[in-house]
Amino acid sequence: MHHALPSPRRTFLQPSTEEDTLASDIPAQPEAASTGLQRLNEATPGAAEEALLACCGSRRWALRLTAHRPYPDTSSLLAAASEASYDMSFADLSEALADESCMPQPLLGVRAPGSQAAHTALRAAHAAYEARFGHVFVVSLDDCPPEEILDHVLVSLRQRLAGDHDDERSTTAEELRRIALSRLEHLVASHTSAAT
């Protein structure tokens, strides 16, 4: 089961290893601040790809965005990300969904109030969804107030369970696109660090 988190799973601001850090790949700029977008634009291809994979688990998607750097502004990056999302193949989408299924799951019980019966219904709906469609359920929760998360997810699951495989693949692709854009915005817009 997966529900979109507002921030990237991995970030270049908090790398998993010293070799993956974008900061070390960027020349120092005295008396200047390094924004997330600048860091992404100036990073080595490998570090940029790793940061982008934190937003969407399709390697082709991440490579495409890495290859088209530098981006003059966040809007340009988001437009390129949307275009890359629309061009994802079946295999790309499957790869991204597999990545979503491997990431740590948010504890919906902590983030969304609701009765035990509602949470039990949610687990059952997730199991039914994965059995029917063969992949993890994803939904963007960016604009959903915390008190409505549980209801929103349950309604989305029930509606999407009633659809056919082709329609669900399209819906899943759109939800992944929205999740990736949200993660990208967080990655580049909310972080600045003083250069040393």
Whole-number average pLDDT of the chain: 79
Q: Is the pLDDT of residue 173 over 80?
A: yes
Confidence of residue 73 (pLDDT cuts 50, 70, 90): very high
Position of tokens 């998607």? 61
- The verdict on 171 and 186 lying in the same domain is no
- The verdict on 72 and 85 lying in the same domain is yes
Highest-confidence segment of 28-32, 139-143, 174-178: 174-178
Contacts of 136 (CB under 8 A, 6+ apart): 1, 2, 97, 100, 101, 130
In a domain, 101, yes or no: no
What domain range includes position 190? 18-96+179-194
For position 12, what pLDDT does the model report?
A: 41
Q: Is the pLDDT of residue 190 over 90?
A: no
Q: Is the pTM of this model over 0.85?
A: no
For position 104, what pLDDT does the model report?
A: 55
CATH of the domain at 154: 1.10.3330.10
- The verdict on 54 and 149 lying in the same domain is no
In a domain, 12, yes or no: no
Confidence of residue 119 (pLDDT cuts 50, 70, 90): confident
In a domain, 118, yes or no: yes
- The verdict on 90 and 186 lying in the same domain is yes
In a domain, 164, yes or no: yes
Return the closest-CA partner of residue 61 out of 36, 39, 83.
83
CB 172 within 8 A of CB 84: no
In a domain, 13, yes or no: no
- The verdict on 52 and 37 lying in the same domain is yes
- The verdict on 187 and 92 lying in the same domain is yes
Long-range contacts of 73-76 (CB under 8 A, 24+ apart): 73/37, 74/37, 74/185, 74/188, 74/189
- The verdict on 120 and 161 lying in the same domain is yes
Confidence of residue 165 (pLDDT cuts 50, 70, 90): very high
Q: What's at 166, amino acid-wise?
A: D
CA distance 93 to 99: 10
Q: Which residue has the higher pLDDT, 29 or 162?
A: 162
- The verdict on 55 and 75 lying in the same domain is yes
Q: How many Cα atoms within 13 Å fall on the side-chain side of residue 51?
A: 30
Q: What's the average model confidence in pLDDT over 36-45?
A: 94
**Domains held by the chain: number:** 2
- The verdict on 67 and 119 lying in the same domain is no
Each residue's pLDDT tens digit, 84-116: 999 999 999 999 999 988 765 543 434 445 577
In a domain, 127, yes or no: yes
- The verdict on 132 and 65 lying in the same domain is no
